[in-house]
Amino acid sequence: MSPTIIQCAQGTPEWAKARLGIPTASMFSAVLAAAKDGKERKTRDMYLRKLAGELLTGDPMENYQAPDFERGKQMEAEARDFYAFTTDGAIEQVGFIRNGDKGCSPDSLIGSAGMLELKTAFPHILIDKILRDEFPPEHRAQCQGNLMVAEREYIDLAIYWPKMPMFTKRAYREDGYIARLSDEIDAFNAELHELVEKIRRYGA
């Protein structure tokens, strides 16, 4: 399937409805935890049940208007402006991108082939990223997932804190990794729909 851009402000009820009941890129790392034990596996199971609850009720299971979320979006707006100023790039804000039974909420699209993912980090964490000078592995699943869903070629990860230098790293599509991620998402969705049917039968 081809990606569909849904124009809505992130954090609004329209945006929450667009992503209801499907795995999204910010949680793809949890989807990949199927073969793991302990905390990571528990996170995956909880995410599976959250999405099942959304499909069963038709209601989002998270409050995207919480104060921490609002503060984060405000700082991301500052980061987006800083990125645009320092790179002179043509960026376009979008709400949500859906491709089949998966989706993502990129912070912006860049031209016809790129994407932007913004993060904020306390100064001591940002300093560590700058000194390491590598693409942070903890963001690989989300960023490669964004590229998979949107069918784009590269993504800039920009990490920001006011009064600090912005850390920016570009990643290109990793087709082998994306193929594995796609298979894991397919398996996750099959498990999700099996769980939904099981709960529906229980209530019949």
Angle at 133 between CA 128 and CA 137, to 5 degrees: 80
What would the mean pLDDT of 193-204 be, rounded to a whole number? 89
What would the mean pLDDT of 130-140 be, rounded to a whole number? 96
Is it the case that residue 64 has pLDDT exceeding 60? Answer: no
pLDDT digits (tens, 9 = 90+) for 43-59: 899 999 999 999 999 99
When pLDDT is cut at 50, 70 and 90, the band that residue 87 belongs to is confident
What is the per-residue pLDDT for 89? 72
With b for 16 or more beta-carbon neighbours within 10 A and e for fewer, the 192-202 pattern comes to: beebbeeeeee
Is it the case that residue 149 has pLDDT exceeding 60? Answer: yes
Q: Which of 47-61, 77-91, 137-151 has the lowest mean pLDDT?
A: 77-91
C-alpha R_g of the chain: 17
What is the per-residue pLDDT for 68? 54
When pLDDT is cut at 50, 70 and 90, the band that residue 66 belongs to is low
Tell me what the pLDDT averaged over the chain comes to. Answer: 90
What would the mean pLDDT of 6-16 be, rounded to a whole number? 90
Is it the case that residue 69 has pLDDT exceeding 60? Answer: no
Of the candidates 152, 165, 168, the residue with the CA atom closest to the CA atom of residue 118: 168
**What is the pTM assigned to this prediction?**
0.90
Please report, to the nearest 10 degrees, the dihedral formed by the alpha carbons of residues 91, 98, 5, 83 taken in order.
-10
What is the per-residue pLDDT for 128? 97
What 3-state DSSP class applies to 14? helix
CATH code for 4-202?
Answer: 3.90.320.10
For tokens 């991620």, the residue is 181
What would the mean pLDDT of 119-148 be, rounded to a whole number? 96
pLDDT digits (tens, 9 = 90+) for 21-37: 999 999 999 999 865 66
Strands 4-6 and 96-99: antiparallel
Amino acid type, 123: P
